[in-house]
């Protein structure tokens, strides 16, 4: 039986979650064909103006709604859980010693004060080479040293320039880390709006290199309406990493090495969630990141305040302890995110919902439309 590892505070726990049947599920079952024109290239004109496909697990019904209709499906006493991670402007440009330009993506700061980055076209870079980081006007801003090639495309750069933190440097030189299926062109890697729209309105914990996209649909007036109807809000953190959107390339799900992401649930958030659950309210997770965090620390119908790194891989056959409903975007084929929503709603049901969404011209992926699974 496969054992799925996840961390709990400073401990890493291995738990046998799944039956042999489900851990050996063929990855090809997560495949579907999406017309390229349905991949959203820009956000909706306004937050909340996207569409909402509502799936009711009680009868597997589907309803086509607008995102602002979400309030009709919430009840007083429910708890809406949101991920308050803040996306770093992690994409940057640099020049090689030859003068050729390359593109990079900041991944994390290591324990030696260096940068872990993905570099495109880095085959001709050698350890010890000096790279010039460019500001947003494409002017030289800082020099760094390509200290160590960690693996194909992944490098460690020497200590941050001028004693500044990576976050401070990226605020001066970085662009929104849009996923590769959003095309902006080499001369215009983003619009001015991307730094704002590829970010939730409640983001306040810097650390993600990709957005928790289900939260992009909310604006402050909508959150105010939700609170006014007696729904509590709980803010937790999971810093979305680059592994989230990588496809599962293994033949079966149990062969896929699940990525690790940092999470934190504070005392206040845990108390709000536990109070709602104890009173019979539903715990509604906004996004797969919230689902993954909550299920990593759930003990029956309660969660505890904790922080650490989770490797929890939720696949069809998993059981859910605390999450009763979720808001989510439409995910890539063969992704761990599609496996998660397939586990929650039933894989056959989810694939049928995706076929419905394609037939009805829903917009897919990060800037696309949303689903509510109740």
If you average pLDDT over residues 109-120, what whole number do you get? 86
Give the separation between CA 308 and CA 293, rounded to whole angstroms.
10
Question: Got the DSSP string for 48-66?
Answer: T-SEEEEEETTTTEEEEEE
Give the separation between CA 259 and CA 232, rounded to whole angstroms.
31
Q: Which residue has the tokens 């000096």?
A: 130
- 8 Å CB contact between 210 and 122: no
CATH topology of domain 91-174: Thrombin, subunit H (2.40.10)
Q: What are phi and psi of 49, to 5 degrees?
A: -90, 5
Count CB neighbours of 308 within 10 A. 18
Q: What was the pLDDT predicted at 52?
A: 98
Instruction: With a cut of 80, say whether residue 117 has pLDDT above it.
Output: yes
Question: Helix or strand or coil: residue 81?
Answer: strand
What is the maximum alpha-carbon separation in the chain? 65
Confidence of residue 99 (pLDDT cuts 50, 70, 90): confident
If you average pLDDT over residues 242-255, what whole number do you get? 77
Ranges in the chain annotated CATH 3.40.1780.10: 4-87+196-373
- Residue range 4-87+196-373 forms a domain whose CATH class is alpha beta
Q: Which residue has the tokens 């306004």?
A: 46
Instruction: With a cut of 60, say whether residue 2 has pLDDT above it.
Output: no
Tokens of 61: 């019904």
Instruction: With a cut of 80, say whether residue 256 has pLDDT above it.
Output: no
DSSP 238: E
Task: Report the b/e string of 166-186 with b at 16+ CB within 10 A.
Answer: bbebbeebbbbbbbebbeeee
Q: Which residue has the tokens 């922080």?
A: 307
Taking the alpha carbons of 223, 228, 229, 233 in that order, is the dihedral positive or negative?
A: positive
Ranges in the chain annotated CATH 2.40.10.240: 91-174
């Amino acid at each position: 039986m496969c054992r799925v590892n996840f961390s709990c505070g400073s401990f890493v726990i291995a738990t046998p979650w799944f039956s042999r049947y489900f851990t050996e599920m063929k990855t090809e079952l997560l495949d579907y064909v999406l017309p390229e024109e349905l991949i959203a290239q820009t956000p909706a004109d306004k937050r909340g103006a996207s569409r909402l496909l509502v799936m009711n697990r009680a009868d597997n019904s589907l309803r086509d709604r607008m995102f602002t209709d979400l309030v009709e499906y919430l009840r007083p006493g429910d708890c809406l859980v949101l991920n308050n991670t803040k996306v770093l402007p992690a994409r940057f440009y640099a020049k090689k010693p030859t003068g050729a330009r390359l593109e990079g993506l900041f991944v994390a700061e290591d324990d030696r004060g260096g940068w872990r980055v993905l570099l495109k076209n880095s085959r001709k870079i050698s350890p010890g080479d000096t790279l010039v980081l460019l500001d947003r006007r494409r002017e030289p801003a800082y020099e760094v040293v390509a200290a160590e090639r960690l693996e194909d495309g992944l490098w460690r750069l020497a200590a941050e320039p001028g004693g500044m933190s990576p976050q401070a440097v990226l605020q001066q030189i970085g662009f929104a880390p849009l996923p590769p299926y959003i095309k902006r062109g080499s001369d215009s890697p983003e619009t001015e709006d991307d730094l704002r729209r590829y970010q939730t309105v409640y983001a306040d914990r810097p650390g993600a290199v990709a957005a928790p996209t289900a939260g992009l649909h909310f604006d402050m007036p909508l959150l105010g309406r939700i609170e006014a109807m007696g729904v509590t809000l709980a803010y937790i953190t999971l810093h979305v990493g680059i592994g989230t959107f990588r496809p599962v390339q293994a033949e079966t799900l149990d062969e896929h090495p699940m990525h690790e992401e940092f999470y934190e649930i504070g005392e206040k958030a845990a108390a709000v969630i536990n109070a709602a659950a104890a009173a019979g309210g539903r715990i509604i997770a906004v996004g797969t990141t919230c689902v993954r965090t909550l299920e990593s620390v759930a003990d029956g119908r309660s969660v505890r305040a904790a922080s650490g790194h989770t490797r929890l891989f939720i696949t069809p056959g998993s059981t859910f302890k605390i999450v009763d409903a979720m808001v989510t975007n439409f995910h890539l084929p063969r992704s761990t995110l599609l496996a998660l929503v397939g586990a929650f709603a039933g894989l056959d049901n989810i694939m049928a919902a995706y076929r419905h969404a394609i037939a009805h011209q829903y917009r897919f992926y990060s800037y696309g439309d949303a689903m509510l699974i109740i």
